[in-house]
């Protein structure tokens, strides 16, 4: 029997995800959608040189903010698995990427809004090398499936050095990165 690599024969530009993924639970639909985006990312970056994250970004752990200390405000708070509330103060003025650091969903990757607070259940990109597009980096990190590198203990966690040693495909031209990111954002809109 001959094995065929489907990612080389599927044309994602003509797939109607709303109709093609019409059965199954909501959780399984989300997993299928994620796979479609990851497959497209891999297709678009298959011939791109790999670069270690420690050459591209600096990470920093978030800062503790218990729910009972949140003060009503317009700043989005991100925990280990996404948005956990709103607060009156922010840690990061510009959009960044938060990565869940502890818990069952450690390794989850979230593109934050401007003026956001990242809790100590996450780490975030404190600085990024010139010539790297944040949206592209989001999809590259998401594609790594960082949760698979979490410690297998009663309290799963992932540490900065583990993340920083991973490699991602990184086109040298930021315009190519932006083009890939825009295509994936478009695909994400189709499967949301």
pLDDT digits (tens, 9 = 90+) for 102-115: 988 899 999 999 99
In whole angstroms, give the CA distance from residue 176 to residue 9: 22
* Residues 9-67 pLDDT 10s: 444 443 433 333 333 344 433 444 456 788 888 888 888 899 999 999 999 999 999 88
Residue % of the chain over a pLDDT of 70: 80
61 bridge partner residues: 123
- DSSP-derived letter for residue 141 is H
CA distance 173 to 63: 34
Which tokens go with 47? 């011939």
99 is written with which tokens? 């990565």
Distance CA 138, CA 136 (A): 5
pTM of the predicted structure, to 2 decimals: 0.79
Any idea which residue has 């992932």 for tokens? 158
Superfamily of domain 9-191: DNA methylase specificity domains (3.90.220.20)
């Amino acid at each position: 029997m001959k094995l065929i690599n489907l990612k080389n024969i599927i044309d994602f530009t003509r797939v109607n995800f709303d109709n093609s993924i019409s059965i199954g639970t909501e959780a399984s639909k989300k997993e299928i959608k994620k796979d479609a985006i990851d497959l497209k990312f891999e297709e678009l970056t298959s011939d791109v040189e790999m670069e270690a994250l420690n050459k591209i970004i600096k990470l920093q752990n978030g800062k503790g903010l218990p729910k009972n200390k949140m003060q009503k405000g317009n700043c989005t708070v991100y925990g280990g698995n996404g948005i956990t509330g709103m607060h009156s103060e922010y840690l990061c003025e510009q959009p960044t990427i938060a990565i869940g650091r502890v818990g069952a969903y450690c390794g989850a990757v979230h593109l934050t809004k401007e003026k956001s607070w990242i809790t100590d259940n996450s780490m975030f990109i404190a600085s990024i090398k010139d010539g790297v597009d944040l949206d592209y980096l989001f999809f590259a990190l998401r594609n790594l499936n960082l949760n698979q590198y979490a410690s297998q203990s009663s309290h799963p966690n992932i540490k900065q050095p583990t993340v920083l040693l991973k490699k991602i495909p990184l086109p040298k031209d930021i315009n190519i990165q932006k083009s890939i990111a825009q295509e994936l954002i478009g695909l994400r809109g189709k499967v949301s």
